[in-house]
Amino acid sequence: MNQPLMLTAAQKAGPKVTIAVGVVILAVLLALPLLSLLPADSALHVSAYTLTLVGKILCYAIVALALDLVWGYAGMLSLGHGLFFALGGYAMGMYLMRQASGEGLPAFMTFLSWTELPWYWVGTEHFLWALCLVVLAPGLLALAFGFFAFRSRIKGVYFSIMTQALTFAGMLLFFRNETGFGGNNGFTNFRSILGFGITEPGTRAVLFLATVLLLVASLYIGWRLAQSKFGRVLTALRDAENRLMFCGYDPRGFKLFVWVLSAVLCGLAGALYVPQVGIINPSEMSPTNSIEAAVWVALGGRGTLIGPLLGAGVVNGMKSWFTVAFPEYWLFFLGALFIIVTLYLPKGIIGLLKKKGEQ
Amino acid sequence: MKRRSLIKAFTLTASIAAMGLTWTVQAAETIKVGILHSLSGTMAISETSLKDMALMTIDEINAKGGVNGKMLEAVVVDPASNWPLFAEKGRQLLTQDKVAVVFGCWTSVSRKSVLPVFEELNGLLFYPVQYEGEEMSPNVFYTGAAPNQQAIPAVEYLMSEEGGSAKRFFLLGTDYVYPRTTNKILRAFLQSKGVADKDIEEVYTPFGHSDYQTIVANIKKFSAGGKTAVISTVNGDSNVPFYKELANQGLKATEVPVVAFSVGEEELRGIDTKPLVGNLAAWNYFQSVENPVNAKFVADWKAYAKAKNLPGADKAVTNDPMEATYVGIHMWAQAVEKAKSTDVDKVREALAGQTFAAPSGYTLTMDKTNHHLHKPVMIGEIQSDGQFSVVWQTEGPIRAQPWSPYIPGNDKKPDHAVKSN
Amino acid sequence: MPTALHRLILACLLLLPLAAHAGDAEDFLAANPTQQAKLLQDWAAQPDPARVELINSLQQGQLTVNGETKTVRLNNRLRGLINNVQASQQLLATEPKVRLAAAQQLQKSATPAQLKFLDQQLANEADDDVHSALSLALANLQLVDSDPAVRLAAVRLLGDTGDPLARTRLEALLAPGVEADAAVHTAAETSLAQVKRKLLVGEMLGQAFSGMSLGSILLLAALGLAITFGLLGVINMAHGEMLMLGAYSTYVVQLLMQRYVPQAIEFYPLIALPVAFFVTAGIGMVLERTVIRHLYGRPLETLLATWGISLMLIQLVRLVFGAQNVEVANPAWLSGGVQVLPNLVLPYNRIVIIAFALCVVVLTWLLLNKTRLGLNVRAVTQNRNMAACCGVPTGRVDMLAFGLGSGIAGLGGVALSQIGNVGPDLGQSYIIDSFLVVVLGGVGQLAGSVMAAFGLGIANKILEPQIGAVLGKILILALIILFIQKRPQGLFALKGRVID
C-alpha cells in the first residue's frame, strides 16, 4: 500500500523547500487584499472583481482540502460536502440578513407575512452566536450522520450515495419557502458585517485575509494530522480497514473525528464564502456541486495537501475564464480535462509535478 | 528538483489571479453591451433564445447606424445557471468589460444575486421576464410583467362568464418564490372576490418533478366539487410531464381549464399540443398577434435563426420574454440617443416615459417612476399547431404594481425606485 | 320495432319548428358570446337532427353559411356547451354505442332545461346500458324535483355510482336546510356513504397503479446502471446521458418517419426501441474502449471520467438539437387512457411502460443467466483474473457488458420520452434516483433493483397525498438513509466470505 503522497513529498523535498514556497504563496495572497486598497488608477491596483474571484476560489480550496481529508486520507468519498458548506453559509447568512434588516424581520419573512422569527433564528443577530452556528450546524449534522453510518459500517459507494441523498434532501428542504430560509432566492442583499459596510474595500480585504488564514490553518491541521500517528491510522483505514481492525484498532472514532472536522472546515469556508460572493441559496446543496468538489480533489491529486488546492484553483479559474472566452464550448474543455486527467494523470496535477520534479 | 515544480504551481496560481486583470478594454468606437444569460446548466433551456434575441436586436440597431453614431458591441458571458456566478459575471461585465448596460437574468434568484452588484457599481440591468414583483431597484428596468399584469387579469378572466365562470381554483406550482408569491397574491385576490378558502387548493412540487399522476388525480377529485380552473405556475421543465398526464388522464380544457404563467411558445415546442387545445396562458405578447410590427419581428427572427443556423431554426418561435428583451434593448438605445450619453444616471432619466411601438401591437411606455413597462395583458388559448390564439385582452397597456396591494404592508412602499437599503 | 318507430315519431315532432332553424348558422355567427351560449343551451334542450351537420362543423370551430366556410372563435365555455348539444343530438342516434357515450357525457353536463327531453328519451330507450346511463344523467337533475318520491329514487340511484360528481351533489343535498323530506335525507346519507366507499376503492387502486407506474419508470431508468455500476463497478455518472441519448434517438426516429414513412408514424416507438438500443450501446462500447477500460479497479476515478463524459454529451446535444426541449408526441395507441372506474383512468402509455419494464427485466435476466455472454460477464465481474486464466476474453466481455448496460439505458430513454420532456438535461434529473435504486437494492443484484424501484415508487405515491410531493420526497430520502444503516449492503446483500 502506497504511503500518502504528502508524506513522501515532504520526506523527499524536506520541510525547508516546502515551507519556503508556502511562504511565497502566502505572501502573494496576503499582498492581494492590501493592493486592492490602493487607489483605482494605481498600476498595482487589484480590482474588487479579482479579489472576490480569488476569495471565492480560496473558499472552494478549503472545501477541497476538507474533502481530501476524508477521501484522500480516510478513503471515504463524500458526495455531500456541499451540504456542510451551505449550512455554514446559511448560518453566516442569517447573521448578515439580521444586520441588513435591523430591528425588523428579514425582508423575505415580512413577505411571507410572518410576524415573528422562527425559533432557530433566535440569537442570530449576535455575531458570536452566528459563528457558533457556523461550527455547530454542519458539525452536529456530520456527527449524527457519521455516528450511525460508521456504526453500521457503511463504506465505499454506499457511503457516497448516502451522502448524496443527504445533500439532495437538504436542498429540497431549503427550497421550500416554509422552511424559513428564503426558499429558492436564499439570502442576498447583505449590507454590513460587524457594522462595516460589506462592499467597503476594507471589509473585502479583511474577509479575504480571513479566508487566507483559514486556509493556512486548515493546511496546518491537515499537515499535523498527516504526520501524526492519527494520520497513519487513517491511511491504514483507507487501504485496509479490516486489517486495521484485526490489529486492535476501532476505526469508528478515527473516522468520526476526521469526518466532523472536515464538515466543520467546510462550514467555515461557507461562512467566509457568503459575504464575499453576496448570495447563499439552496443550489449550493445540489449534488452536482458536491460532485464538482470531488472532481477538484481528484484533479489536483488526492491524498496530498497541496493537490486539492491546485485542483480547486485550476477548475474554477478555468471555469471563470472559459465561460467568458468560449461561452458555448467551455463544457467540452472542462469535460475533456476531467477525462484526460483521469486517464493520464491518475495522481492528479500534483502527481505530474512530482514526476517532472524527479526527472 | 522540487523547486521547479513548485514554481510552476505558483505561476499557475498567479496566472489565475491575473486573469481578471488582463481583460483590457478594446477600441472606444463601440458601445459595449453585456448579455448575461445562462447558456449551460438547467436554465439554458429558457435563456439561450434570449441571448440570441438580444444579439439579433443589437444587429438590427447596428444595421441602422448604431447608437449616437457608435456601433454596439455585445459581450456574451455564460453564468452557467449558477447564482453566485451571476454576481461574479455581473461584476466582471461592469468593471472589467465596462459595459454600458446589461441585458440578462431569467430566474428571480439570479436577479437577486446580481442586484447588489449593480447597485454598488451603479450599473444598469434590463430584466425581461415576468416575476413576482416586490422589488423596484433604481438600477434595474423590468420589461417583464408584474403580477397585476399577468396573474390577476387571468384569474378575472376565468371567473368571468366567458372564461367559464370558475368557482374553485387549484393553484399548482413548483416550490419556489415566484409561484408562492403569485399564489399568495391570487389567494388574497380571490378572497376579496368572495371565494372561500375551501374552494382554493394550493399544491407545490419539487424542482424537476416529473410524476404528476397523484396531482392530476387530485385535480380531478377537486374539480368534482364545482367548476374548477387550474392556475399553474409550474416551472419550465416540469410542464411537459404535467400536460402529458393531463391529456392521458382525459382531463379536458372544457371541463377543467389550466391557465399557465410560465408556458409560452418556446415551451410548447417540446409538447404535442393536440390534446391540450383550449388550455390557456396569460402573457403580454403572443407570436400569433396580428399587426405589422409583429409580422416583421417574427419574420426577422426566423430569418436570423436560419442565417445563424441556430438549432431547430426551421421551427423558430418568438415568445413573451423575447419580445420583452427586444423592447428593452430598443428602449435603452432610444434613451441613450435622447441622453446623448451612455452614462447610467442620464440614461435612467431619459428612460422614464420612453415609448416604443412593440410587437404586441401596442405602444409601450416605460413608467415615469416605477421602472416597469406598461403592458397589455392577453389570454391565449393553446392551438393544435403549438401557437396561441388570443381569446381576451385588456383594452390597453396597464401600469405595473410591483408592490402588490394584496400583500399586507405594501401600501407603505414608495412608488418610485429606491435602493433596497 | 316499437322503439325505432317511437324515435321516428319523436324526431318528427321535434322537426316541427323547423322553419326557425333555417338560419341557425347565421344566428350563431351574428350573436355575441353570451347569446351564442344561450343558443346552444336552447339547442341542447331541443335537439334536432337537422343540426347534426352544424354542430359537427361547429365543434371543429367552423360554420358554413351560404356555402362559405367561416372560422368561429370558440372558448372553453362554448366548447363545453357544444359538447352538451352534441350529446343531446347523439341520443337520437341509432347505434346504442353512440347513445351510450352521449348519455355518459350528459351525466356530467346536462342542465335542468334538458330534463324534459331526457325524460322522453329515457322512456323510449331500449338498450339496457344506455337506459341505466341515461337514468343516472336524469337522476342528477331530479335531485331538485318537487316530488319527494322522484328525489328519493334519484338519490338511491346515485348511491349505486362511484361518480365523484354524485358525491358533490349528494353533499349539496345534505347541506342544512336543503332537503326537507326526512326519508330522502336518510337515503341521501346512505347513498353518500356508498359513493364514498366506491370512490375510496378507486383512489386506492389509482394510488397502487401510480406507484407501480412510478416504480416501472425508476426501474427503466436504473436498470442500465444496475449493470454498468452494479456489475462492472463503474460509477457511471454518464448513465443519465445514455437515457437522454435514447430519448433523442426516439425523437430522431419520429422525425425521420414523419418525413419518409408518414403512414407508419404510429409505430415509431417500436422502431425507436432497436435504434435507441444500438445507438446507446454503440456509444457505450466506444466509451468503454477509449476511456473506461483504463480505469477498472479504480472505481472512484471512473466517477471523474464519466462526469466529464456526461458534461460533454450534454453540451454536444445542446449544440446539435438546441437547449430547448424537443417534441416527442405520444402516438394514438399510447394516448388517452382506459376508464376503469368513474374516478380511475389508467393512461395507456403508463400501462405499456409497466409491461415494457417487466419485459426488459426478464430479457436482461435471461441474458445474464442463460447465455454464454451472461456467464462470462458474471465470471469477469466476480473474479477478473480467474476468468482471464480460464480463457474468458475479459476485454471483449467488458465492452459488451458496458454496451448492454448503455443499451438498456437507451431503451429506458425511449420509455421516458413517452411520459416526460426530452431535453439535454433529461439525464440529470434521473441520475440520483437511479443510483439510489441500485444502492438500495444492493449493488450487483438485479432482483434487488427491481424490488427497490417498485418499493420506492409505491412508497412515494403513498406518502405524496398525505404530506405533499416536496416533503414526501425528503422523507423518502431520509428513509433510504435510515434503511441503509440497517442493511448497509442494500436489500439483497451479496453473500460471501470475501474480505479485503
Q: Which pLDDT does position B11 carry in this prediction?
A: 46
- Give the best residue of C212, C421, C456, C473 to mutate against chain B (max B CB count within 10 A): C421
Q: Which pLDDT does position A10 carry in this prediction?
A: 45
Architecture of domain B151-260: 3-Layer(aba) Sandwich (3.40)
- pLDDT, one tens digit per residue, over C4-51 is 556 555 554 444 444 445 577 788 888 887 888 888 888 888 888 778
Give the rounded percent of residues in chain C with a pLDDT score beyond 70. Answer: 94
Query: Would you give the DSSP letter of residue B366?
Result: B
Q: Which pLDDT does position A271 carry in this prediction?
A: 95
- Which of C30, C25, C34 has the alpha carbon at shortest distance from C69? C25
Q: Which pLDDT does position C3 carry in this prediction?
A: 56
Q: Which residues, in sequence order, are CB contacts of A350 under 8 Å at separation 6+? A: A5, A9, A300, A301, A304, A306, A307, A310
Residues of B in contact with A211 (CB under 8 A): none
CB A276 within 8 A of CB A56: yes
Distance CA B375, CA B389 (A): 18
Q: Do A277 and B87 touch (CB under 8 A)?
A: yes
B289-319 residues labelled b (16+ CB within 10 A) or e (exposed): beeebbeebbebbbebbeeeebbbbeebbbb
- The three state secondary structure string of chain C is CHHHHHHHHHHHHHHHHHHHHCCHHHHHHHCCHHHHHHHHHHHHHCCCHHHHHHHHHHHCCEEEECCEEEECCCCHHHHHHHHHHHHHHHCCCCCHHHHHHHHHHHHHHCCHHHHHHHHHHHHHCCCHHHHHHHHHHHHHHHCCCCCHHHHHHHHHHHHCCCCHHHHHHHHHHHCCCCCCCHHHHHHHHHHHHHHHHHHHHHHHHHHHHHHHHHHHHHHHHHHHHHHHHHHCCCCCCCHHHHHHHHHHHHHHHHHHHHHHCHHHHHHHHHHHHHHHHHHHHHHHHHHHHHCHHHHCCCHHHHHHHHHHHHHHHHHHHHHHHCCCCECCCCCHHHCCEEEEECCEEEEHHHHHHHHHHHHHHHHHHHHHHHCHHHHHHHHHHHCHHHHHHCCCCHHHHHHHHHHHHHHHHHHHHHHHHCCCCECCCCCHHHHHHHHHHHHHHCCCCHHHHHHHHHHHHHHHHHHHHHHCHHHHHHHHHHHHHHHHHHCCCCCCCCCCCCCC
How many Å lie between the alpha carbon of B380 and the closest alpha carbon of chain C?
10
CB C489 within 8 A of CB C242: no
How high is the mean pLDDT of chain C? 85
Residues of C in contact with B220 (CB under 8 A): 164, 343
How many Å lie between the alpha carbon of C279 and the closest alpha carbon of chain B?
21
Rg (Cα) of chain A, in Å, rounded?
21
Q: Do C481 and A162 touch (CB under 8 A)?
A: yes
CB B373 within 8 A of CB B366: yes
- Which of A126, C100, B346 has the alpha carbon at shortest distance from B354? B346
CATH class of the domain defined by B25-145+290-375: alpha beta
Distance CA B283, CA B393 (A): 10
| C484 vs B337, residue with greater confidence | B337
How many Å lie between the alpha carbon of C82 and the closest alpha carbon of chain B?
10
Map out the domains of chain B as residue ranges: 25-145+290-375, 151-260
Question: Which stretches of chain A drop beneath a pLDDT of 70?
Answer: 1-16, 18, 357-359
Give the rounded percent of residues in chain B with a pLDDT score beyond 90. Answer: 56
Q: Which pLDDT does position B24 carry in this prediction?
A: 40
Q: Which pLDDT does position C189 carry in this prediction?
A: 87
Subunits with at least 3 CB pairs below 8 A relative to chain A? B, C
Nearest CA in chain A to B48: A328
Residues of B in contact with A25 (CB under 8 A): 10, 13
How many other C-beta atoms are found inside a 10 Å radius of the C-beta of residue A20? 12
Q: Which residues, in sequence order, are CB contacts of A239 under 8 Å at separation 6+? A: A1, A75
A2, three cell numbers: 502506497
ipTM of the complex: 0.86
- pLDDT, one tens digit per residue, over A141-166 is 999 999 998 888 887 778 888 899 99
Neighbouring C-alpha atoms within 13 Å toward the C-beta of C117:
25
- Give the best residue of A178, A245, A326, A331 to mutate against chain C (max C CB count within 10 A): A331
- Residue C451: pLDDT above 60? yes
Highest mean pLDDT among A71-75, C8-12, C171-175, C489-493: A71-75
Nearest CA in chain B to C171: B225
Distance CA C274, CA C278 (A): 6
Q: Which pLDDT does position B15 carry in this prediction?
A: 46
Query: Would you give the DSSP letter of residue A71?
Result: I
Question: Which stretches of chain B drop beneath a pLDDT of 50?
Answer: 1-27
Q: List domains and CATH numbers for chain C.
A: 2-142 (no CATH), 206-486 (1.10.3470)
- Write the single-letter amino acid at C426: L
3-state secondary structure at position A125: coil
Distance CA A199, CA C455 (A): 52
C148, three cell numbers: 319527494
Q: What's the rounded mean pLDDT across residues C123-135?
A: 83
Q: Which pLDDT does position A232 carry in this prediction?
A: 84
CB B143 within 8 A of CB B324: yes
Distance CA A162, CA A287 (A): 11
- pLDDT, one tens digit per residue, over C345-385 is 899 999 999 999 999 999 999 999 999 989 998 888 778 88
> Model confidence at C404, in pLDDT bands (50, 70, 90)?
very high
- Residue C495: pLDDT above 80? no
CB C201 within 8 A of CB C344: no
Distance CA C218, CA C223 (A): 8
Q: Which pLDDT does position B286 carry in this prediction?
A: 95
**CB-based contact (8 Å) between A25 and chain B?**
yes
